[in-house]
Structure 1
């Protein structure tokens, strides 16, 4: 059981690290900070509830079952963090948000204080690592402590589900998907964890034995529910960044033909890019190099080549916008070929020179269109062949 619980805690830790990759930015943003705290506490709940962790804490403190109030306190803090995260996420007037955050923090702080106080007053000499809730269900003060943390956690699930249900009717896209994941996770947690635990405890009060609900069904249900809930909170914040990186991979590859054409064009020296980069960073450096090369080719761009290529593209059925990129690509190919010829004077502009304004192609999408025209258009290929013949003559 401990291995499964630690695996769930590890997933939470990885998600928390992804969200907290920029600590200074995260700490200044209440929503990012509260998301990170919530996911971190979710992982800590699993870590603390593992039998191996409970046994180690009990041995370290010398107090049997000391891990119980510790785990229940973390669960209560996790419940509070979910509500605070939802408050920050929903937004509203700053003063109202602050007021509700203070209220939630106060209520759950009192709940945690009550849990610790009740455990101090109780007598629980027999260490129980998996079935403490049912074993001490009839023990004074322990009984109240168990009921308190379950009620606090269940109330959080009910309130959050209600707010998410109302909110999901007002929004669309990834936010709605995230809210539905949160509702699904909290429903699993409410029915599979809180309700089964309470049922098993009440069964003990009536001298029945339903301990299996608490020891066998509740832990995996809690893990599934918490993972769904955390995915719902993280998805609207992580998915845009993931999609941006994914699109950057495709754009980086799409720019390969244009970069292959311009790679040998002499440009001003630039600092070497970092060795390890995310796709977005690699795309950025490729764009910078391409724009530098286009700028270096300004004096070699022949307007006659562009005009001829434009007419040919239009004759072949290309739309005006597509023909514009084909003509520019043909002129770039001709200018790059000139730059590779040692006999071509760099400072002398050919007749009919037409400036290639790099600002026109500063957008990633436009550079990608230029690259595709360069790679696929027969008009551009004809311009490349014409430049090669001119160089040989």
Structure 2
């Protein structure tokens, strides 16, 4: 269907094309998890909801309206079709929120009360759709209207009732869905990304109320003999487009945010462990084999495992006395306990590498309990790795610790 030749072509592309693109992208993003967890009814419901929303904008675009009317041979039959999709979307949204939240008053999703509520919601919206088609069959609408049908036929018998019915049903569903989401946000402790997604959904359903207000005002104006058609033909589609984008974002944001947060945590872990990994790889002469198939999670696990194994091999060379002196020296020069501990661990590891290279074994008095010392060093290997990026600080602490030990030996 070519958009050329239709009135308001650039506006139609913006208003209908943008939400279609966002909704399709959201559906593609969610599709792998929907297919992987197909037995989960809520995931299937989200996919169906996004598909319904996308279908609304596809069918409501002026070229699609003309094509539908032409193929069926019934003038304006696209109207009840689009409105049916719209009411179905509202009903599915409300059902999904009830299932997610556990019902309007808070019982569990599987409770009899929640099931009754969901059946009533489903039956009510199905009844509205049947009534829309019945009213359309009774209405006389011979002149095709691709963009302004609501206002053009606002005073036509049966079509007038059809328009009022779908607007009232849409408004009621959006208000209930908005209230459910807002109550959910206010009363439940939520993950930060889920909370952001719900807020986007809430604003999206609120934007749908702008659509209803604009359409309703234009229709009522026609009833009174006034002409406020731009509210229906210009503002209402724009509000619906904004609402669709916000709703698509709301469904995608929790999954996308958690995914990006996990990727960042893993990437950050790899980067923070880099200095310690490089030091131990140089000391041992080996490292983690590179694999193109390794996921970031596997790479991080392998790096952590390699570091722990390498430290275990070095543990017999750890000098507990040197570590204690290094910690005291780091505290004396103004470092906090955490930083001082990491600097002392870095001094100990470097000394152990040197001792191993020289085949020098510390005395039992210096070594102490190697297992306990290794456990302490592994408490926060990221912090130890980070201080390795500051060799000057490590050398300064080591020099102070060594000087302290030497002065003690002199007095002995």
TM-score (norm 2): 0.75
State the match for 2:66 in structure 1: 55
What is the CA-CA distance between 1:181 and the residue it aligns to? 4.2
Query: Greater CA radius of gyration, 1 or 2?
Result: 2
* Cα distance, 1:266–1:230 mapped onto 2, change above 3 Å: same
CA distance in 2, matches of 1:255, 1:55: 61
Is 1:303 the counterpart of 2:318? The answer is: yes
Map of 2:159 onto structure 1 = 142
Q: Is contact 1:34–1:84 with CA below 8 Å preserved after alignment?
A: no
Q: Determine the structure 2 residue equivalent to 1:374.
A: 388
Residue 289 (str. 1) matches residue 303 (str. 2)? yes
* 1:217 equivalent in alignment to 2:217: no
Shift of the alpha carbon at 1:179?
A: 4.9
Q: Which residue pairs with 2:118 in the alignment?
A: 101
SS at match of 2:245: helix
1:161 to 178, 185, 201: 178
Where does residue 258 of structure 1 map in the other structure?
276
Match of 1:388 in 2: none
Q: Distance in 2 between matches of 1:212 and 1:159?
A: 28
Alignment of structure 1 residues 1-393 onto 2, 5 Å? 1-4=11-14, 5-24=16-35, 26-91=37-102, 92-93=107-108, 94-95=110-111, 96-171=113-188, 174=192, 178-190=197-209, 192-232=210-250, 234-236=252-254, 238-264=256-282, 265=284, 272-274=291-293, 281-282=295-296, 284-301=298-315, 302-304=317-319, 306-307=323-324, 309-334=326-351, 354-355=370-371, 366-376=380-390, 378=392, 380-381=394-395
Deviation at 1:171, TM superposition (A): 4.2
Cα distance change on mapping 1:73 and 1:290 into 2, 3 Å: same
Q: Which residue is 1:391 aligned to? A: none
Offset of 1:154 from its aligned partner?
A: 0.7
- Secondary structure of the structure 1 residue equivalent to 2:388: helix
Shift of 1:60: 3.8
CA contact (8 A) 1:165 1:183 kept: yes
Give 1:271 deviation, angstroms: 7.4
- Asked whether the equivalents of residues 16 and 36 of structure 1 are also in contact (C-alpha less than 8 Å), the reply is yes
> Do the aligned partners of residues 25 and 124 (structure 1) sit closer, same or farther apart at CA in structure 2, a change above 3 Å counting?
same
CA distance, structure 2, for counterparts of residue 284 and residue 362 of structure 1: 19
Deviation at 1:156, TM superposition (A): 0.7
**Matching residue of 1:278:** none
C-alpha contact (below 8 Å) 1:118/1:141 kept by paired residues? yes
Shift of 1:126: 2.9
**Contact 1:65/1:127 (8 A) holds in 2:** yes
CA contact (8 A) 1:297 1:336 kept: no
CA RMSD of aligned residues (A): 3.6
Q: CA offset at residue 219 of structure 1?
A: 0.5
Q: How many Å separate the matches in 1 of 2:378 and 2:23? A: 39
What are the Cα deviations for residues 214-252 of structure 1, in whole angstroms up to 9, with x where unaligned? 111110012223333444455455434433333444333
Following the alignment from structure 2 to structure 1, what is the Cα–Cα distance between the partners of residues 40 and 378? Answer: 31
Does the residue aligned with 1:375 lie in a helix, a strand or coil? Answer: coil
* Unaligned segments of structure 2, at least 5 residues: 1-10, 400-412
State whether residues 35 and 234 of structure 1, in contact with CA within 8 Å, keep that contact through their aligned partners in structure 2.
no
Q: CA deviation at 1:86?
A: 1.7
Judge conservation of contact 1:300–1:338 (CA < 8 Å) in 2: no
Q: Partners in 2 of 1:169 and 1:381 — Cα distance?
A: 53
Aligned residues: 372
Cα distance in 1 between the residues matched to 2:227 and 2:124: 33
Q: Is the 8 A contact 1:150 1:194 kept in 2?
A: yes
Residues 336-389 of structure 1 deviation map (CA, whole Å, 9 limit, x = unaligned): 5678x6xx78xx9776563588877778xx33212112222645447999xxxx
- The CA distance in 2 between the partners of 1:372 and 1:22, in whole Å, is 37
SS in structure 2 opposite 1:22?
A: helix
| Change in CA separation of 1:299 and 1:216 when aligned onto 2, cut-off 3 Å | closer
Deviations 1:253-291 (A, max 9, x none): 32332233234545687672437xxxxx52551342242
